Amino acid sequence: MANKVIYAVYDDPEQLKDGARKLVSAGVKVKDVFSPFPVHGIDPIIGITRTRLGIVSFMFGITGTALAVLGIWYFNIFDWPMNIGGKPSFHYYQNVPAFIPVTFEFTVLCAAHGMAITYLIRNKTLPGMPARNPDPRSTNDKFIIEVRTADNHGHSAEAIAELLRQSPVTEINERQC
């Protein structure tokens, strides 16, 4: 039997969650959900774990702080201490208050851009990538559940469609894959 992809189309995020809950409680694995805006509360239903991008941002930020401290120390303390009105400039700790603004800005710069680039790569959203949403209406007003029969050997396509019809689904589309 050829594997099939089933797309269940909903008009409302709450109805979509209802459908997803029905599928999951019957033991059907939901492949993905496509929506025009974030559907809050869908992640635990279909088993999506929390993203670690926050940690990524922290790591980039702390790297930025370290680079800024090291760089400023090298430029203005080690390589060429500048005499500004006779103020102490031969040790980093004596001069550090004046270095805080740049250290802070560089931390933010690295945290923000590091996270943004990681986000784009992880989402596979980069310039020139083709659109990969199954239905163009999913960026407008439709909420779509994707189920693959290949992931659900215990359930036939008909049985899955039957489960979906118990929720307020508007269309069920099947595709060979």
Contact set with other proteins (CB under 8 A) = 12, 14, 32-39, 42-43, 46, 48, 50-51, 53-54, 57, 61, 71-72, 75-76, 79-80, 82, 84, 87, 89, 95, 98-99, 101-102, 104-106, 108-109, 111-113, 115-116, 119-120, 122-133, 136-141
Cβ-proximal residues to 27 (8 Å cutoff; 6+ apart), any chain: 154, 155
Distances (CA, A) of 158 to 6, 20, 87, 116, 155: 10, 16, 81, 42, 8
Rounded to whole angstroms, how far apart are CA atoms 110 and 77?
Answer: 23
Between 118 and 174, name the residue whose CB sits nearer to other proteins.
118
Between 79 and 158, name the residue whose CB sits nearer to other proteins.
79
Q: By three-state DSSP, how is residue 176 classified? A: strand
Between 142 and 155, name the residue whose CB sits nearer to other proteins.
142
Between 130 and 154, name the residue whose CB sits nearer to other proteins.
130
| Alpha helices (runs of H) in 8-149, residue ranges in sequence order | 13-25, 42-46, 53-72, 92-122
